[in-house]
């Protein structure tokens, strides 16, 4: 997937550069990479003498994108759960490699996998032909609970949930994921109902933090969100405030999330496919959910993006490129939207000294797109070239 490393330094020249931290584009950049890292950045000047140049006229260079919520084990097909169930581990791993390569071709150079089967995603970490992968392993869930078929079922008792977190830590996960409510991929679960109470979530958080791991909660239901806040989770995925009849958050609930400094993982990014649509109930509620995220952002919530890539045809693994336009819809400026899926996301993962910005000494993960992604968010769909560790992706 990725080309062989060059024998020496290579310079990448574009028309503009977005470094992941600022607001304006900078004209006439030359980014020099060697040994997998950025070794120099210059503007309006020639490349260093003797260094081969990859010229990309009309392109904007920006950091590789970072998706904080994907599922490589789900193939983005019409029934990803059934497709995974039909695959043994070898076939599942092969499909996950394809998913990772699809993400990489779309400029997504780092992903956080928040739910696989049998810790398979951990086996893919460190592969040079895939994005950098941080993995949660099977998400913790109740018997028959959301995504129980991934293998993370735990009895709802404090000793059991502590043992489950400890096992995940011993397996080497990068983050712990808990299903605090039901979800659309699991018939029989209900998104408006909590799966673990606050005391159990607090025990999971305590055990994860004791082992140096962050913990994020999948939480649609209003009581699940309240429980997650009370438990001190590091992040709330979806955070849709789902009730039986609609989606509604009080000012007090929003203020509690802001005061706790919890990262809100907005589930954004979607492609349009003729004849294919997300679940009708989700689409019916979408205006309410967007309004909740608009209020969260306006109140100062630490809003980030996880696409849930892989869960259906409208959620391919490179769907993150469509998220900035949706971020603008909840109040983000164009530059802030790009920072959210680059430098801000790197900070959430603790990788801000390596990824998310174009800076000397950082990993040479670059995305080159045609046009100006600040003025035109669809520019992110026009990928000219992707580099992972300085290697061009074919």
CATH number, residue 52: 2.30.40.10
Average pLDDT over residues 265-279: 92
Is residue 133 located within the same domain as residue 164? yes
CATH code for position 278: 3.20.20.140
* β-strand pairing of 29-34 with 37-43: antiparallel
Query: Looking at the domain assignment, is residue 2 inside a domain?
Result: no
pTM, entire model? 0.97
Query: Rounded to an integer, what distance in angstroms lies between the CA atom of residue 374 and that of residue 372?
Result: 5
Is residue 41 located within the same domain as residue 187? no
Is residue 251 located within the same domain as residue 368? no
Is residue 315 located within the same domain as residue 173? yes
- pLDDT on residue 5: 46
Q: pLDDT tens for residues 116-173?
A: 999 999 999 999 999 999 999 999 999 999 999 999 999 999 999 999 999 999 999 9
The residues, any chain, with a CB within 8 Å of residue 86's CB and separated by 6 or more, are none
Query: Rounded to an integer, what distance in angstroms lies between the CA atom of residue 88 and that of residue 74?
Result: 13
Is residue 224 located within the same domain as residue 120? yes
- pLDDT on residue 1: 56
Is residue 325 located within the same domain as residue 377? no
The residues, any chain, with a CB within 8 Å of residue 182's CB and separated by 6 or more, are 145, 146, 189, 190, 191, 192, 193, 195, 220, 221
DSSP 316-378: -TTGGGGHHHHHHHTT--HHHHHHHTTHHHHHHTT-TTTSSS--TTSB--EEEEES-TTT-GG
Q: pLDDT tens for residues 358-385?
A: 999 999 999 999 999 999 999 999 999 9
Residue 181 has pLDDT above 50, yes or no: yes
* β-strand pairing of 10-13 with 29-34: antiparallel
Is residue 213 located within the same domain as residue 224? yes
- pLDDT on residue 118: 96
Query: Rounded to an integer, what distance in angstroms lies between the CA atom of residue 237 and that of residue 253?
Result: 15
Is residue 196 located within the same domain as residue 121? yes
Residue 209 has pLDDT above 70, yes or no: yes
Query: Rounded to an integer, what distance in angstroms lies between the CA atom of residue 116 and that of residue 111?
Result: 13
- pLDDT on residue 2: 54
Q: Confidence class of residue 34 from pLDDT cuts 50, 70 and 90?
A: very high
- pLDDT on residue 205: 98
Query: Looking at the domain assignment, is residue 1 inside a domain?
Result: no
Find, among 8, 2, 32, 14, the residue nearest to 100 by Cα.
2
Per the structure, how many domains does the chain have?
2
Is residue 148 located within the same domain as residue 192? yes
Residue 7 has pLDDT above 80, yes or no: no
The CB-side HSE value for 167 (13 A sphere, CA atoms) comes to 16
Is residue 137 located within the same domain as residue 167? yes
Query: Looking at the domain assignment, is residue 4 inside a domain?
Result: no
Print the domain residue range for 314.
65-348
């Amino acid at each position: 997937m990725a080309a062989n490393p060059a024998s020496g330094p290579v310079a990448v020249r574009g028309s503009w550069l977005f470094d992941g931290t600022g607001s304006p584009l900078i004209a006439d950049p030359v980014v020099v990479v060697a040994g997998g890292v950025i070794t120099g950045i210059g503007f309006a000047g020639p490349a260093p003498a003797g260094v081969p140049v990859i010229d990309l006229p009309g392109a904007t260079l920006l950091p590789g994108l970072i998706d904080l919520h994907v599922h490589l084990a789900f193939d983005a097909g019409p029934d990803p759960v059934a497709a995974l169930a039909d695959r043994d581990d070898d076939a599942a791993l092969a499909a996950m490699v394809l998913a990772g390569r699809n993400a990489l071709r779309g400029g997504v150079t780092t992903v956080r996998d928040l739910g696989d089967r049998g810790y398979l995603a951990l086996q893919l970490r460190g592969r040079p032909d895939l994005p950098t992968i941080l993995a949660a392993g099977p998400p913790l869930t109740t018997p028959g609970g959301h995504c129980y078929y991934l293998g993370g079922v735990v009895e709802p008792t404090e000793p059991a949930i502590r043992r489950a977190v400890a096992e995940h830590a011993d397996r080497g996960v990068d983050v712990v994921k808990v299903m605090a409510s039901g979800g659309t991929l699991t018939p029989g679960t209900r998104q408006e109902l909590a799966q673990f109470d606050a005391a159990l979530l607090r025990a999971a958080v305590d055990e994860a933090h004791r082992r140096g791991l962050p913990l994020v909660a999948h939480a649609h239901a209003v009581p699940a969100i309240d429980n997650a806040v009370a438990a001190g989770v590091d992040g709330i995925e979806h955070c849709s405030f789902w009730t039986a009849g609609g989606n509604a958050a009080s000012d007090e609930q929003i203020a509690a999330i802001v005061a706790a400094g919890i990262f809100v993982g907005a589930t954004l990014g979607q492609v349009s496919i003729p004849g294919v649509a997300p679940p009708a109930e989700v689409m019916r509620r979408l205006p309410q959910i967007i309004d909740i995220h608009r209020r969260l952002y306006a109140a100062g919530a630490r809003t980030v993006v996880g696409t849930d890539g892989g869960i259906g045809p409208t959620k391919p693994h490179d769907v993150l490129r469509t998220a900035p336009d949706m971020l603008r819809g909840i109040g983000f400026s164009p530059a802030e939207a790009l920072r959210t899926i680059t430098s801000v996301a790197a900070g959430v993962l603790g990788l801000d000294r390596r990824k998310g910005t174009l800076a000397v000494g950082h990993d040479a993960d670059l995305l080159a797109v045609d046009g100006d992604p600040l003025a035109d968010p669809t520019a992110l769909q026009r990928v000219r070239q992707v580099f992972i560790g300085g290697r061009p992706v074919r």
